[in-house]
Amino acid sequence: MNKRNIISILLLVLFASFLTFGCGVNKDKFEGTWSGIVENSAHFFREQESWNSVVRVKIEKNGESSYLINMDTLEIRASIGDKNEDVVAHWVHSVKKTYTATAKDNTLKVNGPDQFTYVFIEKDKTLMIPECFGLSSAPIARDDDGKMYEKYKEDLAKEYLDSNANDKYNRKFTVSDKVVER
């Protein structure tokens, strides 16, 4: 083989390994976007159409062992009027405050007065969110491309519609695309 072929093969191997092993692959176990469906632990204390929320947690590295954590939730709400009126529910989007956390082993402990802890579960690569902001503790999955978030939103809408399918007044229930900020 001549020198040009050897260089071409080496460049091809280098390019193939670059594609295989990735560039900028997120190696940090916490950093990224996570989402899941989580039960609302406060549903007993307030009237709410859905007992579950779609939760999204965004975690950014902020130094050697420090992180910024942002959480937002989507839940379904409806104003149920007269028994002869159809019910149109809408989405309620709630952004929780941004806070900092410190990593140690498989945990992220939130700094300040909110003393709750996120736990990375090695076995299934999920993140256990703490009971906070009216949400139950639950595992959520990595979702850096946002596709699972959209799927969870569809699943929650289906759950809402299915739970109201046998309305005793034969009302039609729908979920609009309208999002109300809270």
Dump pLDDT digits (tens) for 107-130.
999 998 878 899 999 999 999 999
Strands 173-181 and 87-95: parallel
Helices within the chain (DSSP H only):
3-21, 147-163
Domain boundary assignment for the chain: 26-181
CATH architecture of the region 26-181: Beta Barrel (2.40)
The answer, yes or no, to whether residue 17 has pLDDT greater than 50, is: no
The answer, yes or no, to whether residue 93 has pLDDT greater than 90, is: yes
Q: What's the predicted TM-score (pTM) here? A: 0.78
Give one DSSP letter per residue of 74-115, joined into a string.
EEEE-----TTS-EEEEEEEEEPPPEEEEEETTEEEEPSS--
Q: Which residue has the higher pLDDT, 7 or 40?
A: 40
Per-residue pLDDT of 137-160, as tens digits, reads 899 999 999 999 999 999 999 999
